[in-house]
Amino acid sequence: MTEKIDWKQELLDAEKFNKKRENLLKNGAKSLTDNWLLGALYIRWKKLKGIREESLPDCSSSFQEWTKKIEDTDVCQS
């Protein structure tokens, strides 16, 4: 069973914030800029807890690789 973590309360307990940020953590975002700030606070909480995201795989390829794959499939189909 997964335990639900209240990251907002943990962050409020860990640090002192100005009234706007404290209100934002307690009552949630009301605008887009509030959402951005809340996201930044969430990232701060993750850094405090030592939580790291897994890096995404490198899915990039070059145009030359793509054309070679196309040429190889054309040769096989002929």
Domain boundaries, the chain: 1-53
* Band of pLDDT at residue 2, cut at 50, 70 and 90: low
Q: What is the mean pLDDT of residues 54-75?
A: 80
Collect contacts of 14-20 with beta carbons under 8 A, ≥24 apart: 14/45, 14/48
Q: What is the mean pLDDT of residues 47-73?
A: 83
Is residue 32 within 8 Å of 65, Cβ to Cβ? no
Q: Does residue 30 register a pLDDT over 90?
A: yes
pTM: 0.61
